[in-house]
Amino acid sequence: MFKTDIWSKEQLADKKNQYCQPRTMSEFLEWYKKEENYGLLNECSTQFPVNYNELKDHPLTTDDFTFKKIAVLDLDLTNIVSSLLDEYKDITSNTSKMRPDLVDSPEKYYHRLHGFDRETNTKKITKETHPDVWKLGEYFDLEKYSVATQYQPPGGMSPRHVDFLDSMWIDFANYGFDLMNQPFNTITKSPEGYYAVRMMIALTPWSPGHVFGFEDTYWSDWTPGEVITFDWAHARHYTANLSFNPRLFIKVSGITQDKNHWIFDAINNSTIKQL
């Protein structure tokens, strides 16, 4: 049952009606960017838990998908971890406050409005700057992907939200893979015919105080190399670092048109692939 403790049913229904108007990808992203009540838009766009069996043409068959462990990277990650930790060593939750490059983001603005201003540092990874990290995205057999690191220093947090993958779509367009004129599907939050997936690869071990929640369930006890995916579009998720050890993840986001992709199989059948 969908529950919220912030918005009235009428407010949610009204905003959802606006959200469900037919738009192309670029029209949606323009509308999203200008949306003044980002919190309401974020909440009304979730449809957790989605019964994927009822959706025609969707490869998932679950009705309670929050997150799933889908793979383990059988790889020595020591060099990648130590070089990234060294690169981020000066980042603290104090220096994360009010990053000038994020001031325009409606999500960040909304979070700050509610006092959540000690952010998780998300940094884009490119083939040129971090070829070894970029290569990890290849393991997921996606048509196109983007990679970012997520460094959460002690005190860092990311309050409850769902994703829209706006930076991924814009990135793809900038690199010549332009889906901007395709119709935006309000359930998959992707261009019609595409399925977007998002994976988190743990690089540092879980430490008591590392919080990673999806609706009413939590991921914990992770070890380096463990890979999860989650219902980024519908399961409201939230993180905090209440420990004294930094938390480092790699986030791989990408798209496929293949309904038989092994990631869907892993979600539907709870299988774990060795990569």
Residues that bind Fe ion (CB under 5 A): 163
Q: Which is nearer to Fe ion, 163 or 226 (CB)?
A: 163
Residue 161 beta carbon to Fe ion: minimum distance, rounded to whole angstroms: 6
Q: Locate tokens 């905003």: which residue?
A: 15
Residue 162 beta carbon to Fe ion: minimum distance, rounded to whole angstroms: 7
Give the residue from 200, 177, 245, 227 showing the smallest Cα distance to 74.
Answer: 227
Cα separation, 8 vs 178, in Å, equals 37
Residue 174 beta carbon to Fe ion: minimum distance, rounded to whole angstroms: 21
Give the residue from 215, 65, 229 showing the smallest Cα distance to 145.
Answer: 229
Residue 156 beta carbon to Fe ion: minimum distance, rounded to whole angstroms: 14
Q: Which residue is nearest to Fe ion (CB)?
A: 163
Q: Which is nearer to Fe ion, 74 or 104 (CB)?
A: 104
Q: Which is nearer to Fe ion, 80 or 235 (CB)?
A: 235
Residue 232 beta carbon to Fe ion: minimum distance, rounded to whole angstroms: 6
Q: Which is nearer to Fe ion, 161 or 261 (CB)?
A: 161
Q: Which is nearer to Fe ion, 163 or 231 (CB)?
A: 163
